[in-house]
């Protein structure tokens, strides 16, 4: 029996040594260690041995089994490593083929600018207010101190629906609606769609504005300057120069046009800024006392400022768009770039 075991051990180790793959190693395991394997068969012969010999031979069987198992295991492990190495060697893909991309969409650039501007002003404590686009003459003009003969009140400039209703020409009527509803203090912005009878490369009959209004006990022009400086710096970059220069609007006094240093040339002068180095982006001013009178505010005990900007203008500057009509043609080749 001992000799038989020794032969079997020898055969097994040889079989392992000559096995070339994981599969043939598995075959070796089955042949020697399997339930019907050779070693198992020998084990069954243990019963015929004497009581003295049985434990000794049993011990030997176990030793041989452990040895075969251990050699087999390391051979298997080596074979696995080799197979892995071969696989890694043989497999490769063309990584330059395009990936499987889920298609993403885009928000319209006008929406993006409105959201960006609204977010900046939210950070400055301004809430969003809204108003109708089909508006009363009173809110759009009268209450904003436009005299009856003002050219903006012409059919040449304003779309009319009937004698008293028109398509609002600016977002400023939202100021009036807000002040009639609420008492100071208030800080609002009002993004929205507005309309004027105008159509060419730089004018669209429909366009967008964002209005701002702040009224409280002692708001000053210097505060307006502060708010607008922060806003323009956040929108166009921390170092953007800002300039306020005197201007005129019926519903503010003092009034200002707000220029930023040209974002194209950095203020040196170029075609976009007409060599001036400045780009006009906002109209602003202190709310005119006449406007307070229309909304029953006491002009002597409060003060405030208002400002308004064209969204298209900002979008065109931010994205370098030269023709406003592109914004409303909705060509997906244009829209997908945003």
Partner 1 sequence: MKVTSNWLKEFVDFDLSPEQLADLLTMLGLEMEGMELQGAGMDDVVVALVEEKRQHPNADKLSLCRINNGSEVLDVVCGAQNFKVGDTVVLAQIGAVLPGDFRIKRSKIRGEESCGMLCSEKELGLADESAGIMVLPGGFKLGTPVFEALGLKDIFLEIGLTPNRADCLSVLGVAREIAAKLGVRIKTTYKPVIEGTTAVEDVIGVTVKDADLCPRYAARHITGSRIAPSPAWLVKRLNAVGVRSVNNVVDVTNLVMMELGQPLHAFDCDHLAEQRIVVRRSTEGELFTTLDGQQRTLVAGDLVICDGEQPVALAGIMGGLNSEISDATSSILLESAWFKPSAIRTTSKRLGLHTESSHRFERGTDIDGVTRALDRAASLIVELAGGTVSRGILDIYPVKTEPASIVLRPERANALIGIDLPRAEIVDILRRLEFVVTESDDGSLEVFAPSYRIDIEREIDLVEEIARLNGFDRIPTTMPTAMVVSDRPSAHQRLERVVRDVLVAHGMNEVINFSFTTPDAADKLMLSVDDPRRSVIRLVNPLIDEQSVMRTSLLPGLLETVSRNVCFRSLDLKLFEMRRVYMPIKDAEMPREPIFVTGVLTGQRDREDWSHARAAIDFFDAKGIVENLLELLNIPAVRWVSDTPEQYYHPGKSCSIMAGKERIGSIGEIHPTVQESFGLEKPVYCFELDFEKLVVQSRQKRTISAPSRFPDSTRDIALLVSDGVSAESIVSSVRGVKAQEIEQVEIFDLYCGAGIPEGHKSIAVRIRYRSYDRTLTDEEIAGLHAKVVDNLVNKVKVSIR
- Of residues 90-119, those binding partner 1 (CB under 8 A): 97-98, 100-108, 110-111, 115
Nearer to partner 1, 88 or 102 (CB): 102
Our finding on whether 327 is near partner 1 (CB under 8 A) is yes
DSSP state of 217: T
Which of 43, 128, 264, 270 binds partner 1 (CB under 8 A)? It is: 128
Our finding on whether 319 is near partner 1 (CB under 8 A) is no
* Angle, helices 311-319/221-236, rounded to nearest 10 degrees: 40
Nearer to partner 1, 39 or 214 (CB): 214
Beta carbons of 242 and 228 less than 8 angstroms apart: yes
Alpha carbon distance 202, 204 (integer Å): 7
Residues 189, 183, 253, CA angle at the centre, nearest 5°? Answer: 60
Which of 11, 69, 142, 223 binds partner 1 (CB under 8 A)? It is: 223
Which of 34, 241, 266, 289 binds partner 1 (CB under 8 A)? It is: 289
Handedness of CA 275, 276, 279, 283 (dihedral sign): negative
Which of 86, 216, 298, 323 binds partner 1 (CB under 8 A)? It is: 216
**Whole-number CA gyration radius for the chain:** 42
Our finding on whether 292 is near partner 1 (CB under 8 A) is no
Nearer to partner 1, 37 or 191 (CB): 191
Residue 97 CB, nearest approach to partner 1 (Å): 6
- How many residues of this chain bind partner 1 (CB under 8 A)? 80
DSSP secondary structure string, 262-282?
-TTTTTS--TTTTTSSEEEEE
Residue 309 CB, nearest approach to partner 1 (Å): 18
Our finding on whether 206 is near partner 1 (CB under 8 A) is yes
Our finding on whether 246 is near partner 1 (CB under 8 A) is yes
Our finding on whether 219 is near partner 1 (CB under 8 A) is yes
Alpha carbon distance 146, 129 (integer Å): 22
Tokens linked to 324: 């406003």
Nearer to partner 1, 32 or 307 (CB): 307
Our finding on whether 268 is near partner 1 (CB under 8 A) is no
Tokens linked to 51: 């009581």
Q: Which of 328, 74, 286 is nearest to 201 (CA)?
A: 328
Which of 303, 306, 309, 315 binds partner 1 (CB under 8 A)? It is: 303
x/- track of binding to partner 1 for residues 136-175 (CB under 8 A): x------------x-----x---xxxx-xx-x--------
Beta carbons of 194 and 313 less than 8 angstroms apart: no
In DSSP terms, which residues pair with 286 in a beta bridge? 305
Our finding on whether 127 is near partner 1 (CB under 8 A) is yes
Residues 238, 243, 249, CA angle at the centre, nearest 5°? Answer: 125
Residues within window 21-50 making contact with partner 1, judged by CB under 8 A: none
């Amino acid at each position: 029996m001992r000799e038989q075991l020794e032969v079997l051990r020898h055969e097994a180790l040889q079989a392992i040594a000559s096995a070339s793959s994981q599969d043939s190693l598995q075959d070796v395991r089955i042949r020697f260690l399997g339930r019907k394997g050779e070693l198992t068969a020998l084990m069954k012969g243990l019963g015929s041995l004497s009581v003295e010999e049985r434990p000794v031979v049993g011990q030997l069987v176990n030793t041989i089994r452990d040895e075969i198992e251990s050699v087999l295991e390391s051979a298997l492990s080596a074979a696995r490593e080799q197979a892995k190495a071969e696989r890694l060697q043989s497999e490769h893909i063309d990584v330059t083929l395009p990936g499987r991309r889920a298609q993403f969409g885009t928000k319209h650039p006008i929406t993006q600018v409105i959201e960006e501007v609204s977010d900046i002003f939210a950070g400055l404590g301004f809430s969003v207010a809204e108003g109708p686009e089909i508006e009363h003459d009173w809110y759009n003009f009268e209450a904003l101190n436009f005299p009856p003969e003002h050219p903006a009140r012409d059919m040449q400039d304003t779309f009319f629906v009937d004698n008293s209703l028109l398509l609002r020409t600016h977002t400023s009527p939202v100021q009036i609606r807000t002040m009639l509803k609420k008492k100071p203090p208030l800080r609002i912005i009002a993004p929205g769609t507005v309309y004027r009878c105008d159509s060419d490369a730089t004018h669209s009959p429909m366009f967008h504005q964002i209005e701002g209004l702040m009224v409280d006990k002692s708001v000053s022009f210097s505060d307006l300057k502060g708010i607008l400086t922060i806003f323009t710096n956040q929108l166009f970059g921390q170092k953007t120069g800002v300039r306020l220069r005197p201007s005129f609007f019926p519903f503010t006094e003092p009034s200002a046009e707000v220029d930023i240093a040209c974002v194209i040339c950095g203020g040196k002068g170029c075609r976009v800024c007409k060599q001036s180095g400045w780009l006009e982006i906002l109209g602003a001013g202190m709310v005119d006392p006449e406007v307070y009178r229309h909304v029953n505010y006491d002009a002597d005990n409060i003060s405030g400022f208002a400002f308004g900007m064209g969204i298209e203008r900002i979008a065109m500057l931010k994205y370098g768009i030269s023709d406003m009509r592109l914004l409303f043609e909705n060509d997906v080749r244009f829209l997908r770039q945003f």
